[in-house]
């Protein structure tokens, strides 16, 4: 998204632009799947905050049909699979928010620590409560980082657009297609080296070399952390340190489609307070939002890494055991399956950035500064304000392009 946004802006300004893409498709961590006859998102799923969000205009232009989701439309299930009265998760959420408020009031940035450590200091038996752990997993999914790694001081020091979140019934990839119109894009070109001198840059891929006046490098933070691209000269020390300090998280998604849905049709989400921490705590009910007979199971952190390592048969069996515990043994086998495995994706190596212990907002912003006369970075990891979001990636691409235009 950041690369397409930058390229679109420069192309519209009359510049000659070449996009090099390692995958056999555009979109990066936006990956819409239609192989099961339904629109399912393997990657980015939501526009976060519809009021004033620049993606909303793009979505409408692309015919992607935003549909709002409501996190309050929720049913919660206990460790034994029993449906919990509404008052139970509401009280648990109030307790969890109180814990976070206490941490926010008492913690100084000079005393930063992992969020889990801070939670345990307020409530030593936090991990013994499956419902609180499920709510903690929601924090992990929202931020991208494990409670063990999130900065207790900075984890929520970002900004958001107002209003509900929305999914795109027509598919998130339609926005990518809109931005990519008439751009010169070369697929299956994995960048290996970027030489960026005072007057020009040379980008070397598996297929050849390209010379340009400027390069905007928009690979995910996970790729930068892995050192998969060699920069010559190396990135400035401030940026290298920021790359090392900022966290990059993990999430697993498993979508199951059914011929005969037997679960409640109205709630947008199901909260699974499983006895095993992190085991499919969040289930998105597409039937309630788009009418698709599909459930999207989501987990993050260590549970996501574990899920990514499962075979198809094992992960389906694990998910079905969870769903049948919640909705009954009459739930049939799925008619179709779609899964993600971003931690194993060489061109992503995770999902999105987060404020890890030891990092500060200035680390994200440092990555948005020029890396040299001919090189800039862009992506959701280069904005402290909107990190971890598609709109953050989009705005970072606009910012990088604007920096060149000026």
Q: What is the pLDDT of residues 231-289, one digit of tens each?
A: 999 999 999 999 999 999 999 999 999 999 999 999 999 999 999 999 999 999 999 99
400 contact partners, CB below 8 Å, separation of at least 6? 2, 6, 216, 218, 368, 376, 377, 378, 382
Check residue 79 and give its pLDDT.
Answer: 97
Burial 148-172 (b: 16+ CB within 10 A, else e): ebbbbbbbbebeebeebbbbbbbbb
Check residue 197 and give its pLDDT.
Answer: 83
Give the pLDDT band (50/70/90) at residue 108: confident
Burial 12-48 (b: 16+ CB within 10 A, else e): eeeeebebbbbbeebbbbbbbbeebebbbbbbbbbbb
**Residue 341, SS3 per DSSP:** coil
Does the pLDDT value for residue 121 go beyond 90? yes
Is the previous residue joined to 233 through a cis bond, with omega within 30 degrees of 0? yes
Check residue 377 and give its pLDDT.
Answer: 98
Check residue 109 and give its pLDDT.
Answer: 83
Across the strands, what pairs with 230?
A: 193
131 contact partners, CB below 8 Å, separation of at least 6? 76, 78, 84, 88, 89, 92, 271, 273
Check residue 110 and give its pLDDT.
Answer: 83
Q: Give the DSSP letter of residue 334.
A: P
CB count within 10 Å of CB 124 equals 9
| Chain mean pLDDT for the chain | 97
Domains and CATH numbers, the chain: 1-19+202-222+231-249+359-406 (3.50.50.60), 74-161+250-344 (3.90.660.10)
Across the strands, what pairs with 231?
A: 194
Number of H helices, E strands in the chain: 13, 21
Structure confidence by residue, pLDDT tens digits, 2-53 = 999 999 999 999 999 999 999 999 999 999 999 999 999 999 999 999 999 9
Check residue 327 and give its pLDDT.
Answer: 97
Place of tokens 């930068």: 224
Mean pLDDT calculated for residue range 89-114:
94
Structure confidence by residue, pLDDT tens digits, 122-173 = 999 999 999 999 999 999 999 989 999 999 999 999 999 999 999 999 999 9
Backbone phi, psi, residue 8, to 5°: -60, -45
Structure confidence by residue, pLDDT tens digits, 358-396 = 999 999 999 999 999 999 999 999 999 999 999 999 999
Give the pLDDT band (50/70/90) at residue 198: confident
């Amino acid at each position: 998204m950041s690369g397409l946004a930058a390229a679109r802006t420069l192309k519209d300004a009359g510049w000659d632009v070449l996009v090099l893409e390692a995958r056999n498709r555009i979109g990066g961590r936006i990956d819409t799947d239609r192989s099961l006859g339904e629109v399912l998102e393997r990657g980015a799923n939501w526009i976060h905050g519809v009021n004033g969000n620049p993606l909303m205009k793009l979505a409408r232009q692309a015919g992607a049909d935003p549909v709002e989701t409501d996190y309050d439309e929720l049913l919660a299930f206990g460790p034994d699979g029993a449906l919990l009265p509404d008052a139970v998760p509401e009280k648990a959420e109030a307790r969890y928010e109180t814990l976070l408020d206490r941490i926010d009031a008492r913690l100084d940035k000079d005393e930063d620590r992992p969020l889990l450590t801070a939670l345990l200091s307020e409530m030593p038996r936090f991990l013994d409560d499956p419902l609180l752990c499920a709510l903690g997993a929601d924090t992990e999914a929202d931020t991208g980082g494990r409670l063990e790694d999130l900065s207790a001081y900075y984890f929520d020091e970002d900004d958001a657009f107002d209003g509900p979140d929305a999914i795109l019934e027509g598919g998130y990839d339609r926005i990518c297609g809109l931005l990519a119109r008439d751009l010169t894009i070369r697929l299956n070109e994995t960048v290996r080296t970027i030489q960026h001198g005072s007057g020009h840059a040379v980008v070397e891929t598996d297929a050849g070399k390209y010379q340009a006046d400027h390069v905007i490098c928009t690979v995910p933070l996970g790729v930068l952390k892995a050192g998969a691209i060699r920069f010559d000269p190396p990135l400035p020390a401030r940026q290298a340190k920021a790359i090392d300090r900022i966290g990059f998280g993990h999430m697993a998604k498993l979508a199951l489609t059914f011929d005969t849905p037997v679960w409640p049709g109205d709630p947008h989400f199901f909260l699974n307070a499983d006895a095993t921490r992190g085991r499919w705590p969040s289930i998105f009910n597409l039937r309630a939002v788009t009418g698709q007979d599909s459930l999207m199971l989501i987990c993050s952190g260590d549970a996501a890494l574990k899920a990514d390592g499962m075979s198809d048969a094992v992960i389906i069996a694990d998910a079905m055991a969870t769903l049948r515990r919640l909705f009954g043994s009459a739930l049939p086998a799925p008619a179709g399956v779609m899964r993600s495995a971003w931690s194993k994706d060489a061109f992503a190596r995770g999902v999105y950035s987060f404020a890890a212990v030891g990092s500060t907002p200035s680390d994200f912003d440092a990555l948005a500064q020029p890396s040299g006369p001919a090189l800039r970075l862009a992506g959701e990891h280069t904005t402290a304000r909107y990190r971890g979001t598609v709109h953050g990636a989009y705005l970072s691409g606009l910012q990088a392009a604007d920096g060149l235009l000026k």
